[in-house]
Amino acid sequence: MTDSDWDTVTVLRKKPQKSSQLKSEQAVNQARRSGVQIETSSKYGAASNKQHGTSMNTAKLDRETEELKHAKITPDVGRLIQQGRQAKIGLKRT
């Protein structure tokens, strides 16, 4: 019984740090002091107060000199779609 030391504490399991704790300024400074390499990178369009990012082919479209247009369809197609929808609604009501 003389071998036991009542003043020491043994920690068997520590909780792993959360990712938010690893990103904190305190954790980054501690890593710098210990000599660990730190990689910092920002996401595309980060910190730019835009709700929607631009597509990556914006420069390609800017270089394009030809006028780009979609192929148009005739108004008859729209009328056929409208008639089909109305027929479908008429079937549901009966």
Q: Say how many residues make up the chain.
A: 94
In contact, 20 and 27? CB cutoff 8 Å? no
Q: Has residue 9 been placed in a domain?
A: no
In contact, 21 and 27? CB cutoff 8 Å? yes
Domain that holds residue 64: 19-91
Q: Per-residue pLDDT tens for 41-76?
A: 777 666 677 776 666 677 777 777 777 778 889 999
Q: What DSSP state is assigned to residue 39?
A: -
pLDDT of residue 45: 64
Q: Has residue 11 been placed in a domain?
A: no
Q: Has residue 38 been placed in a domain?
A: yes
- pTM > 0.85: yes or no: no
Q: CA of 73: how far to CAs of 57, 67, 79, 81, 84, in Å?
A: 27, 19, 11, 12, 17
Query: How many domains, in total, are found in the chain?
Result: 1
